[in-house]
Structure 1
Amino acid sequence: MKCNLLFAALLACLFVSGQELYVFSEPASNMPAKSISIKQTAKWLRNTVASRTESRHSSELMFGVNRNLMVHGAVTFSDMYSRAQRFESIRTYAKYRFLTLDGMYSHFRMAAFAEAAHSRNVSGYDELSLEGDQSGIQAGIIATQLLHKLAISTTLSLTESLQKGRSQPGPKMVPYQAFNYSLSAGYLVLPKKYTSYDQTNLNLYVELLGQRTYDKKRYFVDLAPAAQLIFNSQAKLNLGYRFQLGGNMNRMADKSWMLSFEWLFLNALK
Structure 2
Amino acid sequence: MDRRTPAAALAVGQRGETLLNDIEYRFRLLGQGPRPLSVDGHRLGHGLPRRRIALPELSTILMHPSCSYAARDAAWRLLVQRARTGDPAWRAGAIGVALPGLRFKAYLLAKLFTGDVQAAIVEHFLRALGTVDVARPGVVGNLLSAAFSKARAELRELEPASSGAPNHASGAVLPPAPYGHPDLVLARAVNAGVISGQEAELIGATYLEEVSLTAYAEATGQPRWTLYKRRGAAVARLRAAIESGELSDPYGDVINEATATVVLEAPTGRRRP
TM-score (norm: length of structure 1)? 0.28
Instruction: Judging by fraction of residues, say which structure has more helix.
Output: 2
TM-score (norm: length of structure 2)? 0.28
Greater relative contact order structure (CA < 8 Å, 6+ sep)? 1
Rg comparison, structure with higher value = 2
